[in-house]
Chains A and B, each alone.
Chain A
């Protein structure tokens, strides 16, 4: 298990990094749609929702790139996990309030027909991504990471 851990970490890193990079890429170049998707959650003031819609895709891509090349893995994983937890909360509240929107996670988004909502799938998927992030926060040392930080490879010292 100990030997396999960095290899599992590599897969997790590429998986979460790839998802973030792809999801960001799909939204970054269609900012009107992305802003619409965030507004449709009816959670934030309009100006803030628009700001998130336009900036978040770029941050996702940045975190995704860092995970893929393997630099600052722990920080990128913290960002990714926080993001996924925020998405889960946002989707759950939309579901609970009876909004009919698309999660807008991979482009699209906005209001949709009530028959086209996919809240449960979206939440389960994001829980999966959040778990990948948690794994990397706990075990940030992985194979083929550009950053070979010796301090990370030491056993956790008491009080760390």
Chain B
């Protein structure tokens, strides 16, 4: 401001308001940054590998096979479509040990995605991740409609064959909340800007370019070719 600025009560109000707004902005931004940081002491589900971006890993011990990284959000309808298109094939690859598959459960679509990702991690501890994953997408509720609750997720778990009390408390207490946040942070570092995003051996598979073109994502034959490198 110029030196002509009058000193007086008006100036005090001005500085007070500027100070308050600056404080709110600073506190909000700093809190946001800190709560989005990777938490290295977070509890991790059994099959998670920090080196694989905190993803849930299948066949992590295999070498010389294709590595498929799947970045998804449980509430994303296009991810459900991807699962319906290629889910059987991917599960077969896992069973027959023909690929290493890493599931990264992002949660940017809202709080219900966080609940679902946490429950998937709880299911992973019961060795039922794939069944839970499939059951969730088969019954995909409308986005952030309030349908995804702890009770709903426990019921889905039962549908996938999980009956333990540990699963129930893991879902209800959000045991893997910090891990969900770490997956989100690693999605940022991996420059994942939409879901599903699928990498085979670190390279993204081909996206559809127009309505008629399905790309590698929604054409099972094209997806299999991308995985098998043909």
Residues of chain A at the chain B interface (Cβ within 8 Å) = 28, 30-33, 35-36, 39-40, 46, 50-51, 54-55, 58-59, 61-62, 65-66, 69, 71-72, 101, 110-115, 146-151, 154, 160
B25 at the interface (CB under 8 A from A): yes
6 tightest CB-CB pairs across the interface, nearest first? A111-B194, A32-B108, A62-B25, A58-B29, A40-B193, A151-B4
Inside 8 A of A113's CB, which chain B residues have their CB?
208
Question: B5 and A151: CB pair below 8 A?
Answer: yes
Within 100-141 of B, Cβ neighbours of A (below 8 Å) are at 106-110
Question: A66 and B17: CB pair below 8 A?
Answer: yes
7 additional contacts (CB under 8 A) given A28-B28, A62-B25: A32-B106, A35-B36, A58-B25, A66-B17, A112-B194, A114-B209, A160-B2
Tally of A-B Cβ pairs under 8 angstroms: 98
Question: B14 and A146: CB pair below 8 A?
Answer: yes
Residues of chain B at the chain A interface (Cβ within 8 Å) = 1-2, 4-6, 10, 13-14, 17-18, 21-22, 24-25, 28-29, 32-33, 36, 106-110, 184, 187-189, 191-194, 208-211
Greatest chain A CB density within 10 A among B21, B22, B191, B209 is at B21
Q: In the docked arrangement, what's the CA distance between A50 and B2, Å?
A: 36
27 A-B pairs with CB atoms under 8 Å apart are A30-B108, A31-B32, A31-B36, A32-B36, A35-B188, A36-B194, A39-B191, A40-B194, A51-B33, A54-B32, A58-B28, A58-B32, A61-B24, A62-B22, A66-B21, A71-B13, A71-B14, A71-B18, A114-B209, A146-B17, A147-B13, A149-B5, A149-B10, A149-B14, A150-B6, A151-B1, A154-B4
Inside 8 A of A50's CB, which chain B residues have their CB?
188
